[in-house]
C-alpha cells in the first residue's frame, strides 16, 4: 500500500492516435487509474529524446496513453515489471479518415512554433509516423506494423496485453477484468 491506497500496476496505452486513446484514458480514470494522456512537460520530452522511457511523471501517476508511449513499449516493459499494456485498435479505413481530419491543422498553428508542445508533437510524429503531414499509405503501413510488432512482442503473455477496439464497441467488459477491477455501472466513454 502507498499513501493508504493499494499498489496498482502501471498502465500504458499503446494505441496510435485516433484509436480511442482519449476514451481509454477517461475509462482508466473511472476505474481508479491516474494516467496521463499525451503529456507535454519538460520531463516527458527529455525522456522521449533520451529514449529511456524513464518518464518522471510516473513517480506520481499510474501510466501514460497515446503515441507518447507507443514506440517505447519494450523499454516500459523492462522498466516497469508487472505493467499492463493496452493496445487500442481501429478498423483501418475509419482510422485513416479520422487521421486525415485530425492532421489537417498544421502543427505550428496549434501553439507558438517554439513551444514545448510543438516540439513534442513534431518529435512524436516523426518518431511514430516518420512524417509531419498526413500520408494515407505511410500511415496504413505504420499502423499495420505497429499492431503486428506489439502483438509479436507480447505473444504468449495474454495477461500483460489487452487489444481493445473501442471504436468497434469494446469497453469495460474487457478492460476492467484485464485490470482486475470491477466493471462500473456506467457507459464506456466514447470521444
Q: Tens digit of pLDDT for each residue in 129-155?
A: 999 999 999 999 999 999 999 999 999
Q: What percent of the chain is predicted at pLDDT more than 90?
A: 86
**Region 89-110 average pLDDT:** 91
Residue of 108 and 85 predicted with greater confidence: 85
Q: Is the pLDDT of residue 2 over 60?
A: no
Residue of 110 and 15 predicted with greater confidence: 15
CA neighbor of 73 nearest in space, from 164, 177, 148, 179? 148
Q: Kindly tell me the burial class for residue 87, based on how many C-beta atoms sit within 10 Å of its own C-beta (0-12, 13-18, 19 or more).
A: buried
* 6: confidence class by pLDDT, cuts 50, 70, 90: low
pLDDT recorded at residue 114: 83
**Region 154-179 average pLDDT:** 97
Q: Is the pLDDT of residue 3 over 70?
A: no
CA distance linking residue 36 with residue 48, whole number of Å: 15
Contact partners, residue 139, CB within 8 Å, separation at least 6: 96, 99, 129
How many residues in total does the chain contain?
A: 191
Q: Is the pLDDT of residue 5 over 80?
A: no
pLDDT recorded at residue 55: 96
Q: Which residues share a beta bridge with 113?
A: none
Q: Which of 1-15, 28-42, 54-68 has the lowest mean pLDDT?
A: 1-15
Contact 144, 133 (CB under 8 A): no
Contact partners, residue 167, CB within 8 Å, separation at least 6: 19, 20, 90, 91, 94, 95, 190
pLDDT recorded at residue 1: 43
Express the helix, strand and coil content of the chain in percent, nearest 5 each.
45, 10, 45
Q: Is the pTM of this model over 0.75?
A: yes
Q: DSSP readout, 50-117? A: HT----GGGGTSSEEESTTTGGGHHHHHHHSTT-EEEEE---HHHHHHHHHHHTTS-GGGSS-TTSHH
Amino acid at each position: 500500500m502507498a499513501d493508504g491506497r493499494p499498489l496498482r500496476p502501471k498502465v500504458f496505452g499503446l494505441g496510435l492516435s485516433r484509436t480511442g486513446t482519449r476514451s481509454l484514458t477517461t475509462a482508466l480514470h473511472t476505474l481508479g487509474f491516474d494516467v496521463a494522456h499525451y503529456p507535454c512537460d519538460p520531463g516527458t520530452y527529455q525522456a522521449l529524446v533520451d529514449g529511456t522511457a524513464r518518464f518522471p511523471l510516473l513517480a506520481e501517476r499510474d501510466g501514460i496513453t497515446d503515441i507518447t508511449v507507443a514506440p517505447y513499449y519494450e523499454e516500459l516493459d523492462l522498466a516497469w515489471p508487472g505493467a499492463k499494456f493496452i493496445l487500442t485498435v481501429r478498423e483501418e479505413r475509419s482510422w485513416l479518415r479520422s487521421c486525415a481530419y485530425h492532421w489537417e491543422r498544421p502543427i505550428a498553428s496549434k501553439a507558438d512554433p517554439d513551444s514545448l508542445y510543438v516540439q513534442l508533437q513534431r518529435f512524436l510524429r516523426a518518431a511514430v509516423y516518420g512524417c509531419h503531414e498526413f500520408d494515407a499509405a505511410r500511415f496504413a503501413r505504420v499502423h499495420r506494423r505497429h499492431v503486428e510488432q506489439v502483438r509479436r512482442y507480447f505473444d504468449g503473455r495474454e495477461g500483460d496485453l489487452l487489444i481493445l477496439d473501442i471504436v468497434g464497441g469494446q469497453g469495460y467488459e474487457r478492460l476492467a477484468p484485464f485490470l482486475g477491477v470491477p466493471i462500473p455501472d456506467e457507459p464506456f466513454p466514447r470521444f
